[in-house]
Structure 1
Amino acid sequence: MEKLSAIVPCYNEQDALPYFYKEICSVAESMPYVEFEIIFVNDGSTDRTLAIAKQFAEQDPRVKYVSFSRNFGKEAAIYAGLSYSKGDYAAIMDADLQDPPSLLPQMYDAITKEGYDSAATRRVTRKGEPPIRSFFARCFYKFMHKISKTEIVDGARDFRLMTRQFVNALLEMGEYNRFSKGLFGWVGFETKWIEFENVERVAGETKWSFWKLLVYSIEGIVAFSTAPLALAAFTGVILCLAAFVMICFIIIRTLIFGDPTSGWPSMVCIIFLLGGLQLFSIGILGEYLAKTYLETKKRPLFICKETNIEDK
């Protein structure tokens, strides 16, 4: 019998875990032809998330848990879950039920019967989400589509079912700065997209603030495109040409009309403009340099404090 590993990154999800466990067990019962393995990855939670996961593990041998020494982030939790999973197939899903486990049978059929390497999900609506957050999310996907060759689908969730070959390809990329939505597209393979309407959290509060999402989007841009570097260089070339034209204009005007005294406000504005553009360009370079610096350190993506999985 084939095994399916359900990987569930958790950060302070004590309220949602009971609902999720009940739902995933119901789905497992509807798929008796598959052996389930449920891996809860505790990403340094400060509530009873780990205790609840241990409680599930005591009463259900299918339940496994991996607990970090501190909060390393969702990307590290995803990588850890994939590296500890033993299934022929692996599914990544959130504990808040915004990734409906009821879609798993359809995703499984897409791989086993239709021949796809993965089955991914995307939201067709953002009902219940703050309008400004939805607006910036759509802008991000449109921007990434223009500057990156890697396919990143609008509304795509991390919720997807993958073959072991797909999982192994992801694990081979041990980069420290991870952006899973981009990595999924970069490794290629054939993916079937399954659409569903947005589902609100079953319990608890989201851990993704606007600021965290903004930082995460910058991670994605830097990880999968060098367009910002090209933009900085292009801006520098344009300003140099503009400066050359202005110098020629000033020289010609001085020779013809003399050297009238100019006001200082325009000069200050130009200085501020050029200074701001220089700092902006340096900031872009610094962002790429910082990512390179972190990669060269070769630090582990996560540190496992305790787990009930005997052999990794």
Structure 2
Amino acid sequence: MPTPLPVSDIPSLSVVVPCYNEQGVLPEFHQHLCAVMDRVGRPWEVVYVNDGSKDQTLVVMRDLEQQDNRVSSVNLSRNFGKEIALTAGLDHARGTQGVIVIDADLQDPPEVIETLVAEWSDDVDMVYARRRAREGESIPKRFTAWMFYRVMAKLGNRVVIPPDTGDFRLLSRRALDSLLQMRERHRFMKGLFAWIGYPSKAVFYDRAPRAAGVTSFNYWSLWNFALEGITSFSVLPLQLGTYLGFVISLLAVLYGGWIVLNTLLFGSHVPGYPSLMSVILFLGGVQLMTLGLIGEYIGRIFNETKNRPLYFVESYHVAGVPQAGVKPE
């Protein structure tokens, strides 16, 4: 963990911003963030996490450090993915009262932070930003996002994930400390935010298009992201495999009984090749699908048993002071 700052320099709020190839938007984002946080009126820091960017994101971070002593940066040793990068930022957040999570692409307007802080109180540990509109996104993207949140609501196994809600939120220090106790490798942060419980409150906002750059998420990565969420918080897919096998077995028994009865009543005749192949291919497909589903869960168990660190930090800067080789707990 990072070296503690002097008590007088410890911020009350930390803003954690995971970054991957954000050189084009980071300076503008920082300007917006500074204006907003200055209006909030509490001591604060921003923790930028460079998740193995291939562009000049790290250089931009270093420039921001020189210009603003409230900027900290965590440079990961390689690209670990957004969920791990976000975890690294939360690990290094010093805020004594709370932490704010936001992306750098300006789709989540920093101005909403004022509303998050205003709705935050001693009785509310988490204030999350819920999307009212999603400008700049295609109809298929909006539809699949809508479907994902509704499916997760059905599969959540007593964990209620708020619909149309991303990572943009404010957490109290108590909620953050609880969240950081969970160190699983396959991290679905939206689910983890919901899993810890604590009183929460929603704030509605309109999501804007990206200010610059291109999103790193495509439909394949979004599918894998959805699969991660479903397998992390529900075993219902395995149960569905069991139910499907039971139903197919029941139908097979009924079909077999019909064949026997038909033979006794009307005599034997040559079975049809197309119907036989259809049944074989159908049952084979169901078996392979079920085995693949079991494999998804076994693969996650395998990765968890390795007990590897979540990430490695190549360098960590606070107010221009580097600390290289810092590792997570």
User: What TM-score does the superposition give when structure 1 sets the normalisation length?
Assistant: 0.96
Q: Tell me, what secondary structure is at the counterpart of 1:123?
A: strand
Once the two structures are superposed, the pairs formed by residues 220-231 of structure 1 within 5 Å of their partners are 220-231=229-240
Shift, 1:59, TM fit: 2.1
CA offsets, 1:139-166, max 9 Å, x none? 1111111122211122102000111111
* 1:270 maps onto 2:270 in alignment: no
CA offsets, 1:119-139, max 9 Å, x none? 100111223211111111111
* 1:160 maps onto 2:172 in alignment: no
Aligned to 2:47: 39
CA offsets, 1:285-311, max 9 Å, x none? 000111111101111111111111458
Aligned to 2:89: 81
| One-letter identity of the residue aligned with 2:20 | Y
CA offsets, 1:20-72, max 9 Å, x none? 1101111122122x111110000000111001101111221110000111100
CA offsets, 1:234-273, max 9 Å, x none? 0011111111111221112212211111220111111111
Once the two structures are superposed, the pairs formed by residues 103-252 of structure 1 within 5 Å of their partners are 103-112=112-121, 115-148=123-156, 149-252=158-261
CA distance in 2 between partners of 1:29 and 1:272 (Å): 64
| One-letter identity of the residue aligned with 2:251 | A
Gaps of 5+ in 2: 1-9
**Contact persistence 2:107–2:208 (CA under 8 A):** yes
| One-letter identity of the residue aligned with 1:287 | E
Q: Tell me, what secondary structure is at the counterpart of 1:308?
A: strand
**Contact persistence 2:11–2:94 (CA under 8 A):** no
Aligned to 2:4: none
How well do the aligned residues superpose, as a CA RMSD in angstroms?
1.4
Q: Tell me, what secondary structure is at the counterpart of 1:193?
A: strand
Match for 2:301 among 269, 287, 292? Answer: 292
| One-letter identity of the residue aligned with 1:166 | A
* 1:14 maps onto 2:33 in alignment: no
Q: Tell me, what secondary structure is at the counterpart of 2:246?
A: helix
**Contact persistence 2:11–2:45 (CA under 8 A):** no
Gaps of 5+ in 1: none
* 1:71 maps onto 2:109 in alignment: no
Aligned to 1:53: 61
Match for 1:256 among 252, 265, 287? Answer: 265
Shift, 1:2, TM fit: 5.8
CA distance in 2 between partners of 1:79 and 1:165 (Å): 16
Q: Tell me, what secondary structure is at the counterpart of 1:39?
A: strand
CA distance in 2 between partners of 1:138 and 1:268 (Å): 38
CA distance in 1 between partners of 2:171 and 2:152 (Å): 24
CA distance in 1 between partners of 2:40 and 2:206 (Å): 23
Instruction: Give percent identity, aligned residues only.
Output: 39
Q: Tell me, what secondary structure is at the counterpart of 1:50?
A: helix
Aligned to 2:103: 94
**Contact persistence 2:129–2:166 (CA under 8 A):** yes
CA distance in 2 between partners of 1:47 and 1:243 (Å): 58
User: What TM-score does the superposition give when structure 2 sets the normalisation length?
Assistant: 0.91
Displacement over 6 Å in runs of 4+: none
**Contact persistence 2:136–2:210 (CA under 8 A):** no
CA offsets, 1:48-104, max 9 Å, x none? 100110111122111000011110000001110111111021011000111111111
CA distance in 2 between partners of 1:268 and 1:258 (Å): 22
